[in-house]
Amino acid sequence: MLRKILIALVVVTVLLPAVLVLLYRLVPPPVTPLMLIRLVEGQGLTRDWTRLDDIAPALAHAVVASEDNLFCEHTGFDWNAMNMVIGELNEGGAPRGASTISMQVAKNLFLWPGRSYVRKAIEAYLTLYIEVLLPKRRIMELYLNIAEWGPGLYGAEAAARHHFGKPAARLTGREAALLAVTLPNPLRWSASEPSGYIANRASVIQRRVGQLGPLLNCVRD
């Protein structure tokens, strides 16, 4: 009996994540936990899977500049950012995120929203599979297709059409920056009706894209 339990644990904790990640290397994920949760909450579900090659490169560049400058360099974790957060917490500061794009893909693909330490630990574990089994361009492709960009709105194509009335392939640098800066709080912030803060933040991201140089190599055409 104990042997069967141990085998089941190995399958669930080791083999299942590997199988799912390898599957999503080849096919689009049909749905994510967040999509289902929002659907139950009555927000609807609008998405249209789009290949990374059919999304304006400006969006991937803006997302790296806004969310994870070292995406092309790290192996899933930005240790410097994490050490800074830990230091701030030790000094009594408010908790804030230090998630890389790879960590966000692990969370969005498999987990529920929240800030518990248990969920964060599982997220870190799954990030290892994401980084080992997927190339960077596929990680970005997944991210841009499952990210939440408004109530019931998922992925770059749906976001581009909703906010700017055009396909994701035709996004300008400014529009890409506006979409990128709303990612931390897409239910409150709008790319098509930006507040002064969002507009100013988008300008900062546009400048940063021009400064990153080789740090964008893994998401260039």
pLDDT, mean over the chain: 90
Cα-Cα-Cα-Cα dihedral sign, residues 82, 83, 84, 89: positive
Q: In the structure encoding, which two tokens stand for residue 183, read together?
A: 């990612």
Name the residue with higher pLDDT: 116 or 46.
46
Asked if the model's pLDDT at residue 86 lies above 90, the reply is no
* pLDDT at position 89: 42
Is 174 in a helix, a strand, or coil?
helix
- When pLDDT is cut at 50, 70 and 90, the band that residue 78 belongs to is confident
Burial of 177: CB neighbours in 10 Å, binned 0-12, 13-18, 19+: buried
At 154, give phi and psi (nearest 5°).
-135, 135
Cα-Cα-Cα-Cα dihedral sign, residues 75, 175, 26, 147: positive
Q: In the structure encoding, which two tokens stand for residue 63, read together?
A: 């997302």
AA identity, residue 220: R
> What are the CA-CA distances from residue 158 to residues 55, 173, 210 (Å)?
11, 17, 26
Instruction: Specify the pTM.
Output: 0.89
| DSSP designation for 94 | P
Residues in the chain: 221
- When pLDDT is cut at 50, 70 and 90, the band that residue 115 belongs to is confident
Determine what percent of the chain is predicted with pLDDT higher than 90.
77
Residue 186 CA to residue 179 CA, distance in Å, equals 9
Note whether 174 and 142 are within 8 A (CB): no
Q: In the structure encoding, which two tokens stand for residue 11, read together?
A: 């399958």
